Structure 1
Amino acid sequence: MATTIAKFLEIYLGLMIFRVLLSWFPNINWYDPPFSILSQLTDPYLNLFRSIIPPLGGIDFSPMIAFFVLQFGSTILLNLLGNLQTSLL
């Protein structure tokens, strides 16, 4: 179970990185199918941080905080799940 969650979080983090990198290209239409799916998957999580941290000087720093929280949270969650699995054995 812990490996499944770890793989999911790894894939989601990769999708978020891809989403942020694509945001540097202003000519991308986020309503086209491949981009709209990516946006629908990642924007709800990123919007949590965008509502807290406004862009400063036109630069959106909220994805950096979102990456940090996801990495930190996944580390804690995986440690807890790992400890839970070892205690059940």
Structure 2
Amino acid sequence: MTTVPSGFLSFSPALLHAKPRRPFLNFRNRSKSLLLVSASLTNNIEADTTTVQETNSISDSLRNVTLLADLDPGTAKVAIGILGPALSAFGFLFILRIVMSWYPKLPVDKFPYVLAYAPTEPILVQTRKVIPPLAGVDVTPVVWFGVLSFLSEILVGPQGLLVLVSQQQVS
């Protein structure tokens, strides 16, 4: 085996032809539920008991998801009445936090500033662990304002999910 020095590391041409350490997984055999789906598509009902038990637990969890998604229009209207103002209020608080971040020496424990600081700081502390300040600029209020705007539009916007559910006719 010959090695060719390149900068700080030595490079071996034999590494180009080496096999990877872990083989790639075969997608068709990754889970037993995929086997059951393929078996049901081919009308082959041969499955062992563990696969059937896993499928039952998967179908139970899917049934729970459909129950959560099956809201009646009255409940959707109540959710719109609560979520709409709450998302708007928190969006406004995060806008205030963005403006407050421009002035780092503000006394955030004093009266007008604590109204925006106290409710948003616990959320922002957790987010700063994931997204640290970039070049000394805290971008987490901007991230949360974007997330809240997205949720507001998806849930209670003019074509939001809860609005569409609340407009359904009861038959």
TM-score by length of 1: 0.79
Structure 1 residue runs without a partner (length 5+): none
Q: Which runs of 5+ in 2 are unaligned?
A: 1-77
Contact 2:97/2:141, CA 8 A, preserved across alignment: no
Corresponding residue for residue 6 of structure 1? 84
Q: Residue 144 of structure 2 aligns with which residue? A: 66
Do 1:49 and 1:63's aligned partners in 2 also have CA atoms closer than 8 Å? Answer: no
Residues of 1 paired with 2:100 and 2:133: CA distance? 17
Residues 42-57 of structure 1 aligned to structure 2 (within 5 Å): 42-57=120-135
Aligned length: 89
2:114 paired with 1:36: yes
| TM-score, normalisation: structure 2 | 0.46
Letter in structure 2 aligned against 1:49: T
* Percent identity for Structure 1 against Structure 2: 31
Distance between the aligned counterparts of 1:88 and 1:47, measured in 2? 44
Return the structure number with greater helix share. 1
Q: CA contact under 8 A between 2:133 and 2:139: conserved in structure 1?
A: yes
